[in-house]
Chain A
């Protein structure tokens, strides 16, 4: 009788640990899968981010010509973005973001610096919303200038503030609003 009790206890224990292990394996697998998805999409969204930062640097340097050239590059990277790895809802949101951002990038490619900065403001919002979905492999800093157009934000890969809306006129105006990882 005692033996039987022991047997049942052992079997129960075994059963519990077995399910546990299965669960863990499932979770591990899911985690791995998520990471894979991110890795894949990262390449395209990282390319967009890299072009966006080059554009921002050109505006910081008051270099309209370079900003126009990076605008063209950014439009191409945006066009190459592939949303198929995301959920249906995310896909819809991303398509909207990319469409809007593309229009701003194309305008930046053919405008003077004043217009480039106007479009950069909305573009920054688009890119920030994109990163909220795609994530980023590097730490990003959302910075904010309270003076330009009733307050305007942008993203930077560096903590140090360099203002793309005013360039040399007010190079260090602004502050870090939040960090995005």
Chain B
């Protein structure tokens, strides 16, 4: 019983200590000129959907809810954001060549259609990020038109 108490105290202390380790937050005040929404004429409902469902991990600006500021959740999240941004950063969209834009759009369509994106670990908490059938159709259609117009 005493051992359990000691372990609990150690864990609690560790939990408090890791809160003081600084993390680089993915936050930025300015939106670059190359942003997907700025260079494309995106309908407002699609804009909102992309912001809520994609931009947290695929842009330079994450909307952090309080629990994502608590360690070790924040570390887990930072890893995802880093990976997400390296695959696709909507803020840097226009820096891509047309060939790469077409490739990215193809992947976006495939990932949304197959339900691989947004990640299940993300929609578990962000229920509003889930794509309804209607939203999937709408966004996929928009992305396909965009790809054909390149």
Binding site for B on A (CB under 8 A): 96-97, 99-100, 103-104, 118, 122, 126
A118 and B110 contacting across the interface, CB-CB below 8 Å: yes
Asked if B127 is at the interface (CB within 8 A of a chain A CB), the reply is no
Task: State whether the Cβ of B100 lies closer than 8 Å to any Cβ in chain A.
Answer: yes
**How long is the Cα–Cα vector from A162 to B144 in the complex, in angstroms?**
29
Q: Quick one: closest A residue to B100, CB to CB?
A: A100
Is B106 within 8 A of A99, CB to CB? no
Q: How far is the CB of A98 from chain B (nearest CB, A)?
A: 10
B99 engages A100 (CB within 8 Å): yes
- Contact, CB under 8 Å: B110 / A99: no
B149 at the interface (CB under 8 A from A): no
User: Which of B99, B106, B107 meets A126, CB within 8 Å?
Assistant: B99
Cα A97 to Cα B102 with chains together (Å): 12
- Tell whether, in the assembled complex, residue A97 and residue B110 are in contact, meaning their CB atoms are under 8 Å apart: no
Docked Cα-Cα span, A96 to B110, in Å, equals: 22
Interface of A is mostly: helix
Give the 6 A-B residue pairs with the shortest CB-CB distance, closest first.
Answer: A96-B97, A96-B99, A100-B99, A100-B100, A122-B103, A100-B103
Report B-chain residues with C-beta under 8 Å of the C-beta of A104. Answer: 103
Other A-B contacts than A118-B107, A122-B102, A122-B103, 11 sampled, CB-CB below 8 A, are A96-B99, A97-B99, A99-B97, A99-B99, A99-B100, A100-B99, A103-B103, A118-B106, A118-B110, A122-B106, A126-B99
Q: In the complex, what residue of chain A is closest to B107 when comparing beta carbons? A: A118
Number of chain B residues close to chain A: CB under 8 A: 9
A interface footprint on B85-106 (CB within 8 Å = 1, 0 otherwise): 0000000000001111011001
A103 to B106 Cα, complex, angstroms: 13
CB-defined contacts of B100 to chain A, threshold 8 Å: 96, 99-100, 103
What's the nearest-Cβ distance from chain B to residue A71, in Å? Answer: 15
Q: Is the CB of B106 within 8 A of A100?
A: no
20 interchain pairs, CB-CB under 8 A: A96-B97, A96-B98, A96-B99, A96-B100, A99-B99, A99-B100, A100-B97, A100-B99, A100-B100, A100-B103, A103-B100, A103-B103, A104-B103, A118-B106, A118-B107, A118-B110, A122-B102, A122-B103, A122-B106, A126-B99
CA distance A57 to B10 in the complex (A): 55
Chain A, Cβ-Cβ closest to B101: A100
Complex CA gap A40/B129 in Å reads: 52
Q: CA of A118 to CA of B114 in the docked complex: distance in angstroms?
A: 12
Residues of A within 8 A of B106 (CB): 118, 122
CA distance A99 to B97 in the complex (A): 9
Measured CB to CB, the closest approach of chain B to A102, in angstroms, equals 10
Interface centre among B99, B100, B107 (most CB of A within 10 A): B99
